[in-house]
A and B are shown apart, each in its own frame.
Chain A
């Protein structure tokens, strides 16, 4: 036994630092920056957490939407640009063909003099501005392609001009003067320039096109990846929020069940207490009655043979039994005060005090008491219970002024706001030492010896219990040998209510 008892503390001493240290090691490594975040999150209420969760989901949807929108715009723009590039390349090709046709046609004319060969030349002349305008429209302003278009226009115009000069010369002077031109071509330099330029433009546009196709593909892929990751993240977030809500609901349900269970337990305990006090009331009194009864019978039966001492013993037995009976009764009343259902209503304290004084009038016939009773407010509470409160307070005042030739008892009210009435009962009795003020309201607590003032010490305990049940407070002030004041606070009746 002794050894087994000694072991556990040693084990605990060894074990307890270990998990702490491993924990301390493990957490900062993994989530050093997440830990404070997690802690702040832990401090928030469930509503705030759910709101934060849904906020994150909403923000995520917004971000994904924004990025998707941007990617879409890029794709659509690239689509337009691609179409334009295709058109551009097509027109560029057409222009190149037109240039070649015009060149071929004009050389045939130079050789044959047949004007029908000039059709393509005329066509180029007429349509060049149109071609150039189209090409220009299909490029961005200030782009290199736009500059190239202007360059091309110049070269074409140069070509046309030189060809025209040659055509005019052929028409005036005949074939011989233009023989050389016809063989080699007049605008060789311009033509070659235009062709080179055209090829360069074609190449550049094709390259840009390929670049854009690549860009679109990348954008599309990144969009897909983004959407997938975003959807996954949102799913995780939603799952977390769902878990939070579910956890909260489970927790609440558990608490509700727990509350119900405790309520049932409390009810059972109350029932048990009631049964207990019932049996106390019934069974505990009987032996006391017998003690007093048989002591009395004995005193009577043996009255001749008993001396005064023995009679006094019997008397004490009887008195003790009676006193215990009184204590039991007081305790039962006190217990009932805590359980009894309260019947709340408006209580007119002036009437209540008047009726109490009326009831006490016979007990006070040989006493000189000067009463000062102020106008008292109406309060909310159980009339019978409050009657008990003031009965106790006034009875105390009467009891503890018993040694005074002229007793003064004052009942009044302090102004303490519209919601609460503070009532007091003041006497010029024996008073009490403020050091024991906290004992005054305890059950069976007495500040005077039994032979000084009678009583069991339950009265003020009842006062406190009743006032507490009304939501009020009790306190007392006193000076030994000069008097005491007892205060109770009670909810006041509002004039409108």
Chain B
């Protein structure tokens, strides 16, 4: 159960971020979380550029994506990830307030691995974030590093 890969959380709202981190804290996952404040930062992280130029190589265990974010929104980030052979294996979970049908449909059409609506009730929110962190950060086996590259070559 050693967790080496980080959890990338894209959340523009600092309060939501704080609450999410509080939830992760319960399972001591908070230090694994890398917080991005908008879509552009997520892409910077994934492509190791800008602020994340000097970070350690490797993809995150999962990307928790909010839909509505400044600069580059969640769907745009998702599209970029799923269109890039090197990034495509990264699990992407939409974590959003929207229960709108078209958001759901579009997210899955673009290749989202899961779609979670943030519950209003904090205990449920806590539970949802915790379960996400535990599942994607600990239970789920992430794609091997380099698998993407072979896929990239073959396609």
Pair A296/B122 contact, Cβ less than 8 Å: yes
Pair A286/B19 contact, Cβ less than 8 Å: no
Pair B97/A295 contact, Cβ less than 8 Å: no
Pair B97/A282 contact, Cβ less than 8 Å: yes
Determine, out of A206-214, A318-326, A366-374, the stretch whose residues face the partner at the interface. A318-326
Pair A293/B15 contact, Cβ less than 8 Å: yes
Contacts A286-B16, A332-B99 given; indicate if A292 touches B120 (C-beta within 8 A).
Answer: yes
Which residues of the partner chain B approach A324 to less than 8 Å between Cβ atoms? 120
Asked if A344 is at the interface of the complex by the 8 Å CB criterion, the answer is no
**Closest CB of chain B to A178's CB: distance in Å?**
141
Which residues of the partner chain A approach B123 to less than 8 Å between Cβ atoms? 296
Asked if A278 is at the interface of the complex by the 8 Å CB criterion, the answer is yes
Which residues of the partner chain B approach A281 to less than 8 Å between Cβ atoms? 97-100
Number of interface residues of B (CB under 8 A): 21
Interface of A is mostly: helix
Contacts A289-B16, A297-B22 given; indicate if A322 touches B97 (C-beta within 8 A).
Answer: no
Which residues of the partner chain A approach B97 to less than 8 Å between Cβ atoms? 281-283, 285-286, 289
Asked if A329 is at the interface of the complex by the 8 Å CB criterion, the answer is yes
Which residues of the partner chain B approach A322 to less than 8 Å between Cβ atoms? 120-121
Within 8 Å by CB of B67, from A282, A318, A332, lies: A282
Pair B19/A290 contact, Cβ less than 8 Å: yes
Asked if A288 is at the interface of the complex by the 8 Å CB criterion, the answer is yes
Number of interface residues of A (CB under 8 A): 25
Which residues of the partner chain A approach B67 to less than 8 Å between Cβ atoms? 282
Pair B120/A282 contact, Cβ less than 8 Å: no
Pair A329/B121 contact, Cβ less than 8 Å: no
Residue of A nearest to B68 (CB): A282
Contacts A282-B67, A297-B22, A325-B120 given; indicate if A289 touches B100 (C-beta within 8 A).
Answer: no
Pair A286/B13 contact, Cβ less than 8 Å: yes
Pair A290/B118 contact, Cβ less than 8 Å: no
Contacts A289-B118, A289-B125 given; indicate if A278 touches B16 (C-beta within 8 A).
Answer: no
Which residues of the partner chain A approach B100 to less than 8 Å between Cβ atoms? 277-278, 281-282
Which residues of the partner chain B approach A292 to less than 8 Å between Cβ atoms? 120-122, 125
For chains A and B in complex, what number of residue pairs have CB atoms within 8 angstroms?
65
Q: Could you mark each residue 321-347 of chain A with 1 if its beta carbon is under 8 Å from any beta carbon of chain B, else 0? A: 110111001001000100000000000
Which residues of the partner chain A approach B121 to less than 8 Å between Cβ atoms? 292, 318, 322, 325
Pair A285/B22 contact, Cβ less than 8 Å: no
Assembly CA distance A329 to B13 (angstroms): 21
Pair B19/A289 contact, Cβ less than 8 Å: yes
Contacts A289-B122, A293-B122, A295-B122 given; indicate if A282 touches B98 (C-beta within 8 A).
Answer: yes
User: B1-51: which have CB < 8 Å to A?
Assistant: 13, 15-16, 19, 22
Q: Could you mark each residue 81-105 of chain B with 1 if its beta carbon is under 8 Å from any beta carbon of chain A, else 0? A: 0000000000000001111110000
Pair A285/B16 contact, Cβ less than 8 Å: no
Contacts A289-B122, A321-B120 given; indicate if A329 touches B99 (C-beta within 8 A).
Answer: yes
**Closest CB of chain A to B87's CB: distance in Å?**
26
Residue of B nearest to A321 (CB): B120
Assembly CA distance A278 to B75 (angstroms): 15
Within 8 Å by CB of B120, from A277, A289, A294, A336, lies: A289
Which residues of the partner chain A approach B13 to less than 8 Å between Cβ atoms? 286
Assembly CA distance A288 to B126 (angstroms): 14
Which residues of the partner chain A approach B68 to less than 8 Å between Cβ atoms? 282-283
The 9 lowest CB-CB distance pairs between A and B, nearest first, are A325-B120, A293-B122, A296-B122, A292-B122, A293-B19, A285-B97, A290-B15, A282-B97, A282-B98
Please name 7 further chain A to chain B contacts, defined as beta carbons within 8 Å, in addition to the given A282-B100, A288-B120, sorted by A numbering. Answer: A289-B125, A292-B120, A293-B22, A293-B125, A297-B19, A322-B121, A332-B99
**Which residues of B line the A interface, CB within 8 A?**
13, 15-16, 19, 22, 67-68, 96-101, 118-123, 125-126
**Which residues of A line the B interface, CB within 8 A?**
277-278, 281-283, 285-286, 288-290, 292-297, 318, 321-322, 324-326, 329, 332, 336
Mind listing 19 A-B residue pairs with CB under 8 Å? Answer: A278-B98, A281-B100, A282-B67, A282-B98, A282-B100, A283-B97, A285-B118, A286-B16, A289-B119, A289-B120, A289-B122, A289-B125, A290-B15, A293-B19, A293-B22, A294-B19, A297-B19, A322-B121, A336-B101
